[in-house]
Amino acid sequence: MLEELASTLGGDTLGQLAGVLGGNQWALQQANRDGEGILGHVFGQSRPRVEQQVQAASGLSSSMVTKLLPLLAPIVLGYLGKLLQG
């Protein structure tokens, strides 16, 4: 399953992160699309419950959690993919 998800990224996760942090709108949109896909694969219909648990555990607002999870998902998946390769 992780390999299938990793293939949906289709690129360099760290490069994408650099673009997002650099303010590149295209990179931000791409990261959001990738993240939404990953979250859909991993959590499916349980996503709202996961978001609520992240909100409760982190103290972040629900809107912040909703914005952050799609951005973090490709980073986490990329890291896990590198762990599996190495």
- DSSP-assigned letters across all residues of 42-74: HHGGGHHHHHHHHHHHH---HHHHHHHHHHHHH
pLDDT higher at 80 or 53: 53
Q: For residue 23, what is the DSSP state?
A: T
pLDDT higher at 21 or 71: 71
Which residue in 80, 70, 86 sits closest to 28, CA to CA?
70
What the block records as the tokens of 51 is 């978001």
pLDDT per position as a tens digit, 23-60: 777 777 888 888 898 899 999 999 999 999 999 999 99
The answer on pLDDT for 1 being more than 60 is no
